[in-house]
Chain A
Amino acid sequence: MKTVEEIKAAIEAGVPGVEIEIVPNPSPSGQHSLRVAPRHAFAVAKFLHDDAEIALDFLSNATGVDWLDKEVSEKVKSTRTVTKMVDAVEQTVEETVEETVKRTVPGYLEAVYHFYSVQKKYGPVVLRMRTVNRTDQVDLPSLTPIYRSAEFQEREIFDLFGIVFTGHPDLRRIMMWDEFKDHPMRRDYVSPDDFEYEPTPHDEVLARVQARQAASAPGQEGAAQ
């Protein structure tokens, strides 16, 4: 049984120049994870698989998580000089003001891998990596060449979350049909008005289409289809 700290130290010794950090898990499960920069992820996984001491030969679970853009409001204290009338005399006074500053933390997609060791019988060791954003830079290295069990699971992440795994031997949709456009497991996914196209929608579908068109801005009608 190895702790996350020991594994992190071993990775740092085995893969030079690696960017890796421990993500603490506050839940009682105590399964802390390691976040690795995508460009080192393949080398790290290869090291975890091949190293005789760590010997994580079994990839149990691979999955994606979608983290939306987050708006964080922070209270910032600043000091400024103001001119005030004090006792009918104009004076310069220093004043501390508290302001609420809102900033947006950009969202990202995350791939999470749970490794176990069949030889040494310990685990899970959790490895995670992030994409740059949620829109155009969504590629991560595939671990399928090292762990075959990632083959279908990475296809599923690609299908449902839209992470593109470079180096995957057979990256196709797995659950949704090939013509499907969106990625249904994303948090901001909106299901289509009707999964089977009808030229003249009626009943409930018509109500949904009308509601969607009324909600969207004028001039963008038809975009809701």
Chain B
Amino acid sequence: MKIGEFVQENKPLGWNRPPHIEPDGEGELLEVAMGPHHPSTHGVFRMDLALDGERVIKLKPVFGYLHRNHEKIGEGQSYLASMPFTDRLDYICPLTNNWAYALAVEKLAGQEVPERAEYIRLILAELTRVQNHASAIGFLLQEMGASGTPLMYAFREREKILDLFESLTGSRMMCNYMRFGGCRVDITDEWVKAAKKVVAGLPRFVDEFENLLASNEILMARTQGMGILKPDLAVNAGITGPMLRATGVGYDVRKVDHYGIYDRFNFRVPVGAVGDIYDRYSVRILEIRESLKMLEQALNEIPGGPIMDAKAKIRGFRPKPGEAYGRIEAPKGELGFYLISDGGPNPYRYRVRPPSLINLTVLEDMCLGHNVADVVLIFGSVDIVLGEVDR
């Protein structure tokens, strides 16, 4: 499908609301609070369900169990002091969070990033994407009843990537690595060698994963035609990332915004055809493959030079009054930061646009009419992290 075909103009107001489902009249409705400690909710998230037998006829997501008002904390401290806090948003992919925040501040202050730092950022972001998608698929299969094995396979590869992060940044998950105008520490030749080795081993893992799963009968039976999302609703509801691309809309911020050095790389944007769980799974697998191609290219042609802009100011950093909205393609979707500066050392307004929260907008639409057991799968295919949903 070509981009733009999803649009149907002059729809009546209210077309984008979830449909109303009538109970069949036999027996009583059952109200279930699924969560906040349900093992399938990836943290503390609750769904208030109304069930007619096994069928879901109403679903209301309930948030806030992990709310710590990240944005208020960000307003009370300097720009740089928020950088480690961004690690705690989506704690599966800290480096893309760092990048999104650094990008927004660089837009606000008009800073340049040296070429070598751009390469390092891209390598780390794509490694993050690989490990996020691998573990997202692992979690999805775990919830499908494939107890243990796929998740352990995914985590085995994820550990190799986290080892790379640890040897570079000092921490597996709380990396705190990017700075405004560059990166914190330089990569060494040994690190590049180790990264090349890890990247060279990953296609074999993806092949193995796909051989075991793509034509698996149980996986197909439980995911195909399940939780279908239509492209017009997906765009209208602000869905981004693999969720949006699985519906057939080839919208990728890496291609659209040309941030960083992504236009030097030749990569394709995989799209789905139906928009069901199986498409979301396939899009993630294909995105891993595209990321691996990019990683190979980037690791081979990484240039020398500084990793910090020489004019970047670390101490007494006060951007001029103004505002900026910067966004990147994080593994879960479009991660944006909106900053308003009043000329002081702290941001006047610090806003995170969380892809995980906004991707849940259509959870009810996708789940209505399905069985409770499938709600677990549909929810798992959205791929959220509660640290980012609740902030």
Residue of A31, A148, A174 ringed by the most chain B CB atoms within 10 A = A148
B235–chain A nearest beta-carbon distance, Å: 5
List the B residue with the shortest CB-CB distance to A150. B238
Q: Which A residues have a C-beta under 8 Å from some C-beta of B?
A: 25-29, 31, 33, 50, 52, 55, 57-61, 63, 65, 112, 114, 118-119, 121, 124, 126, 145-153, 160, 169, 173-177, 184-185
A55 to chain B: which residues have CB within 8 Å?
7
Does any Cβ of A come within 8 Å of B358's Cβ?
A: yes
User: B334 near A60 (CB under 8 angstroms)?
Assistant: yes
Alpha-carbon separation in the docked complex, A50 to B360 (Å): 25
In the complex the two chains form, is A147's CB within 8 Å of B107's CB?
Answer: no
A61 and B323 CA atoms in complex are apart in Å by 14
| Chain A residues near B67 (CB-CB < 8 A) | 175-176
Main secondary structure of the interface of B (DSSP, over half): mixed
List 9 other contacts, CB 8 Å, given A29-B324, A148-B237: A29-B325, A55-B7, A63-B351, A119-B7, A148-B233, A151-B361, A152-B361, A173-B64, A174-B63
Asked whether any CB of chain A lies closer than 8 Å to the CB of B305, the reply is: no
B residues with a Cβ closer than 8 A to A are 3-4, 7, 9-10, 13-14, 16-17, 63-64, 67, 69, 71-72, 107-110, 233, 235-239, 249, 251, 256, 319-327, 334, 336, 338, 340-341, 348-349, 351, 353, 357-358, 360-362, 390-391
Chain B residues whose C-beta falls within 8 Å of the C-beta of A146 in the assembled complex? 13
A28 touches B9 (CB 8 A): no
In the complex, the answer to whether B322 meets A27 with C-beta atoms within 8 Å is: yes
Closest chain A residue, CB of each to CB of B337: A61
Name which residue of chain B comes closest to A169, CB basis.
Answer: B17
B391: nearest chain-A partner, CB-CB: A175
The reply to whether A152 and B360 form a contact with Cβ atoms under 8 Å apart is yes
In contact, B327 and A145 (Cβ under 8 angstroms): no
What residues on A are CB-neighbors of B349 within 8 Å?
63, 65
Among the listed B14, B17, B64, B238, which residue makes an inter-chain contact with A177, where contact means beta carbons less than 8 Å apart?
A: B64
- The binding surface of chain A is classed by DSSP as loop
Of the candidates A121, A124, A184, which one forms a contact with B325 in the assembled complex, judged by CB atoms under 8 Å apart? A124
Contact present for B238 and A185 (CB under 8 Å):
no
Q: 3 tightest A-B contacts by CB?
A: A27-B322, A149-B238, A28-B110
Complex contact B4–A119 (CB within 8 A): yes
Least Cβ distance of A48 to chain B in Å? Answer: 13
Neighbour of B351 across the interface among A31, A58, A61, CB < 8 A: A61
- Whether B338 and A185, one on each chain, are in contact in the complex, defined by CB atoms closer than 8 angstroms, is no
- B329 to chain A minimum Cβ distance, whole angstroms, is 12
Residues of B within 8 A of A121 (CB): 3, 251, 256
A-B residue pairs in contact (CB < 8 Å), sample of 30: A25-B323, A27-B109, A28-B320, A29-B108, A50-B9, A58-B235, A60-B325, A60-B334, A61-B336, A63-B353, A65-B340, A65-B349, A118-B249, A118-B251, A121-B251, A126-B325, A145-B16, A148-B236, A148-B237, A148-B238, A148-B361, A148-B362, A149-B358, A149-B361, A152-B357, A173-B64, A175-B64, A176-B67, A184-B69, A185-B69
B361/A57 in contact, CB under 8 A = no
CB of A57 within 8 A of CB of B236, answer: yes
**Closest A residue, CB atoms, query B64:** A175
Q: Given the interface contacts A148-B237, A149-B236, A177-B64, does A28 sit within 8 Å of B16 by beta carbon?
A: no
Instruction: Flag if A29 contacts B249 (CB, 8 Å).
Output: no
- Chain A, Cβ-Cβ closest to B232: A57
